[in-house]
Every structure is written in C-alpha cells, then in structure tokens.
C-alpha cells in the first residue's frame, strides 16, 4: 500500500494533499506530513484529517513515497536531518526548483529519486508537472509518480536538461500570465470598467483561450489568425503588440527565471 509522507506542508504540499484526497487517489490515512510551523501543522491537520508532525524523522519510516516540499534553500539541511533513515523502500519525489537529480542522489544515497517541477495551478487541479526519473528509479516508479501527479493536473516526462526551461515556463509561468492579466485589467479599468467586471472578463478570457487551444488542438498562430479580421479591433491591437518589444521582454523574462533555476542547482 502506498503511504505518502510530505516534508514541508506549505502551499504546494497542501495542493498535493487536497488533490490526493479529493480524487480519492489516496485516503487520508495514507498521507502524513511534517511541518516546522506549529500553527500551520494544526491548520493542515484540521483541513485534511491527516497526521502532521514537527520533524521529518517522524514520517520517514511510516512512508514509502516521500515528497520533498520545502523551499530549495532548505532542502540540503532538511534532507541531512533524515537521510540516514532512508532505505531502498523509499521513492523520494522532489518538487524543489533547481535541485538536480545528481544533488538529490548525492544527499540520499539509499533512496530512489524523481525530480518534479509542478506549478501552483495544482491548487485547483489544473497543475502542470514535468518529471524526470533518477538513475536508481525503477519502471514501476514511473507508474506511481504518474498516478500521484495526475491527481492535480497534467503530467509530462522530460529529460532533466530541460528543467530550467520548464521551471521558467510552467513553474513560474502562472505569475507571468497573472502579470499580463493585471496590466490588461488596469487598462480596462482606465476605460471605465469596474475592477470586478474587468477581472471576470479577463480571467474567463484567459481560461477560455487555453481551453480552446487545447481542446481544438490549435496553435497560437492559428488562433491569432482566426480572431483577426482585416481592419478589425484585434488587428488594431496586434499592430501595437507586433511593433512593441513584448516578445523580446518575455524572452528576457523566461531567460532570467531559467538562469535563477540553474543558480539554485549550484
Ligand atoms: N509555489 C510554487 O508555485 C511552486 C511551483 C513549483 C515548485 N515549487 C517548489 O515547491 C517547494 C515548496 O514551495 P511552496 O511554495 O509550497 O513553499 P512554502 O509554502 O514556503 O512551503 C514550505 C513549507 O515547509 C516548511 N518547512 C521548512 N523547513 C522545514 C523542515 N525542515 N521540516 C518541515 N517543514 C519545513 C516551511 O515552514 P516555514 O515557512 O516556517 O519555513 C513551509 O511551511 C519549493 O521547493 C518550490 O521550489 C513551488
């Protein structure tokens, strides 16, 4: 039976716990967590009915799958506190930005490792997770990982060399899309719309655009073409976007995020 222990019970861990329970992938009795912050421990325990402990040592022995869900800066110290208790029964799933398979396998020589880059949209079960298997992972681990990750969104296996780009695009991406939305909402407010109305119009349009692209398997280019009629409103707006350096700025934005992901792995 799968027993999942989460180390760190912050935002991402909560999204994982909630999805595993809501989709009935696991029962609450199959999930344990540990969390440094006492108030947060009580909150997570109350919300999900799972046992939440103060230290990793308390959950390692009782789990066969361990999610590492602390901030990248805390990974090394946190892992050192329980690495000796890991055995061949443990599959460790790290969601920490920038922590490489080599880093993680060095820190946890006994465990099988999977590296995952999820995103915050996992909170509403529309997450995007990329994963890559460590050198000691087995074929059966791929199946387990896919089952667990698909409880909170879509899943894609990719070679580790792409993880800095993945971190930039889908890991940090929700903040970049939200930034664009914020700017468009402010513009609509300046045209007289209320903030609530502008947010609803903007958010539903963002959601609908992604659904349309995915459901109809359209490329962004095809969608742009389909919405743009000669001398129409979209053409007028795209004329401004096309002449601007927005594409270059977005390129710089993703490069900066990918660079930071690389630095975190150093
Ligand atoms: N948020 C995202 O959008 C996102 C996307 C992709 C990947 N990730 C990755 O997911 C991981 C978690 O991110 P998050 O946003 O969920 O962070 P978070 O909300 O700060 O959660 C981490 C939690 O772990 C606790 N903690 C720290 N050290 C601990 C220890 N030794 N034992 C037990 N608990 C400990 C922290 O407590 P304190 O706050 O008291 O330190 C905090 O409550 C990160 O590695 C990040 O790179 C996040």
Q: Give me the pLDDT at residue 265, please.
A: 79
Percentage of residues in the chain having pLDDT higher than 90 = 95
98 — pLDDT class (breaks 50, 70, 90): confident
Spatial distance between the Cα atoms of 104 and 75, rounded to a whole number of angstroms:
9
Q: Is residue 115 a contact partner of residue 104, using CB atoms and an 8 Å limit?
A: yes
Burial class (CB in 10 A: 0-12, 13-18, 19+), 19: buried
Per-residue pLDDT of 99-152, as tens digits, reads 999 999 999 999 999 999 999 999 999 999 999 999 999 999 999 999 999 999
Query: How much distance in Å is there from the Cα of 149 to the middle of ligand 1?
Result: 17
Q: Are strands 127-133 and 112-117 parallel, antiparallel or unpaired?
A: antiparallel
Residue 195 sits at φ, ψ, to 5 deg, of -60, -40
DSSP assignment of 151-168 equals: TTEEEEE--GGGHHHHII
Q: Give me the pLDDT at residue 203, please.
A: 98
Query: How much distance in Å is there from the Cα of 247 to the middle of ligand 1?
Result: 32
Distances (CA, A) of 63 to 5, 15, 33, 81: 5, 19, 10, 16
Per-residue pLDDT of 42-81, as tens digits, reads 999 999 999 999 999 889 999 999 999 999 899 999 999 9
Q: Tell me the sheet residues that pair with 113.
A: 92
Query: How much distance in Å is there from the Cα of 114 to the middle of ligand 1?
Result: 17
Residue 181 near ligand 1, beta carbon < 6 Å: no
The closest-lying atom of ligand 1 relative to the alpha carbon of residue 81 is 31
The closest-lying atom of ligand 1 relative to the alpha carbon of residue 98 is 47
Query: How much distance in Å is there from the Cα of 249 to the middle of ligand 1?
Result: 29
Pocket test residue of 8, 14, 103, 127 for ligand 1, highest count of atoms within 8 A of CB: 8
* pLDDT at residue 266 is higher than 80: no
- How many CA atoms lie less than 13 Å away from 214 in the CB half-sphere? 8
* pLDDT at residue 30 is higher than 90: yes
List helix spans (H) across 49-138: 57-60, 72-80, 101-107
Distances (CA, A) of 190 to 23, 181, 227, 232, 244: 42, 14, 24, 22, 21
Q: Tell me the sheet residues that pair with 184.
A: none
* pLDDT at residue 82 is higher than 80: yes
DSSP state of 169: I
Residue 98 near ligand 1, beta carbon < 6 Å: no
Query: How much distance in Å is there from the Cα of 35 to the middle of ligand 1?
Result: 9
Q: Is residue 128 a contact partner of residue 118, using CB atoms and an 8 Å limit?
A: yes
Q: What is the mean pLDDT of the segment spanning 240-250?
A: 95
Domains of the chain: 4-165 (3.40.50.720), 171-264 (1.10.3730.10)
* pLDDT at residue 34 is higher than 90: yes
Strands (E), the chain: 4-7, 31-34, 51-53, 65-68, 91-94, 112-117, 127-133, 153-157
Q: Is residue 160 a contact partner of residue 234, using CB atoms and an 8 Å limit?
A: no
Q: Going by CA atoms, what residue is nearest to atom 25 of ligand 1? A: 8
Comparing C-alpha atoms, which of 164, 119, 133, 169 is closest to residue 263?
A: 164
Query: How much distance in Å is there from the Cα of 264 to the middle of ligand 1?
Result: 15
Q: What is the mean pLDDT of the segment spanning 141-169?
A: 97
Q: Going by CA atoms, what residue is nearest to atom 19 of ligand 1? A: 10
* pLDDT at residue 264 is higher than 90: no
Residue 22 near ligand 1, beta carbon < 6 Å: no
């Amino acid at each position: 039976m799968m027993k999942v222990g989460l180390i760190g019970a912050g935002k991402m861990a909560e999204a994982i716990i909630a999805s595993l329970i809501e989709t009935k992938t696991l029962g609450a009795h199959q999930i344990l967590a540990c969390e440094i912050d006492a108030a947060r421990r009580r909150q997570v325990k109350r919300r999900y009915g799972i046992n939440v402990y103060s230290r990793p040592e308390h959950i390692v022995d009782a789990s066969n799958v361990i999610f590492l869900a602390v901030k990248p800066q805390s990974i090394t110290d946190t892992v050192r506190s329980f690495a000796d208790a890991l055995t061949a029964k443990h599959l460790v799933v790290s969601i920490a930005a920038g922590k490489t398979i080599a880093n993680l396998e060095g820190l946890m020589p006994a465990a099988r490792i999977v590296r995952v880059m999820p995103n915050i949209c996992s909170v509403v079960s529309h997450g995007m997770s990329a994963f890559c298997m460590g050198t000691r992972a087995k074929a059966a681990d791929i199946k387990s990982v896919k089952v667990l990750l698909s409880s909170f969104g879509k899943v894609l296996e990719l070679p580790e060399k792409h993880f800095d780009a993945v971190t930039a695009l889908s890991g940090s991406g929700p903040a970049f899309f939200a930034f664009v939305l914020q700017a468009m909402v402010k513009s609509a407010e300046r045209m007289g719309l209320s903030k609530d109305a502008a947010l609803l119009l903007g958010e539903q349009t963002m959601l609908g655009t992604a659904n349309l692209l995915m459901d109809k398997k359209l490329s962004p280019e095809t969608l742009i073409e389909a919405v743009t009629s000669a001398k129409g409103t979209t053409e007028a707006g795209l004329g401004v976007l096309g002449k601007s350096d927005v594409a270059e700025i977005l390129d710089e934005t993703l490069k900066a995020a990918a660079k930071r992901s690389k630095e975190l792995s150093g």
